[in-house]
Amino acid sequence: MRSHRAETFTRVIDAVFACNGGFLVVGDALTRPFGLTAAQWQVLGFLEDGPATVAEVARRRGLRRQSVQETVNRLLRNGMLDRLPNPADARAPLLSLTRRARTAMRELGAAQVEWAEETAAQVSQEDLETTLRTLRRLREVVAQPRLS
């Protein structure tokens, strides 16, 4: 029999999955005019901070390396990414945004801010801050190795 806390935690997980699905639908709608998907937007967004490898993107975004590689391959074909030599590992090239990708991200950023303003206005600042703190803590907890 599950404890009340475990039951509540399970409902939190269900709500996070449902929100993620909704965010992906909105992300796809926001990115469509730029010829992108929400998944591609996530990768490009990470690379705005500078070049990185597929493995680094996957690890930092909490995604599977294989799915990131598939997304990267599409972005390379679409002229949104360049491969750069990686002095640390010749087998793992660094990925960098092209001028086309930077332009798309700048324009997409404006659309995202407008959507975020409208959406966030429907939730209190206190609730948003509590949710952010809680999700960050849960991410720390689930990232900790478990002893068998």
Using one digit for the tens of pLDDT, what is the confidence trace for 42-67?
A: 999 999 999 999 999 999 888 899 99
Average pLDDT over residues 22-38: 94
Q: How far is CA 37 from CA 23, 44, 118, in A?
A: 12, 11, 21
Q: How far is CA 67 from CA 24, 27, 63, 71, in A?
A: 15, 17, 7, 6
Asked if 53 and 92 touch (Cβ cutoff 8 Å), the reply is: yes
Report which of 35, 114, 21 is spatially closest to residue 77, judged by C-alpha positions.
35
Report which of 68, 48, 49 is spatially closest to residue 58, judged by C-alpha positions.
68
Helix (H, G, I), strand (E, B) or coil at 96: strand
CA–CA dist 78, 122 (Å, integer): 36
**64-83 pLDDT, tens per residue?**
999 999 999 999 999 999 99
Average pLDDT over residues 82-89: 93
Average pLDDT over residues 23-40: 94
Asked if 135 and 54 touch (Cβ cutoff 8 Å), the reply is: no
Helix (H, G, I), strand (E, B) or coil at 92: coil
Check residue 147 and give its pLDDT. 65
Whether 145 shows a pLDDT value over 90: the answer reads no
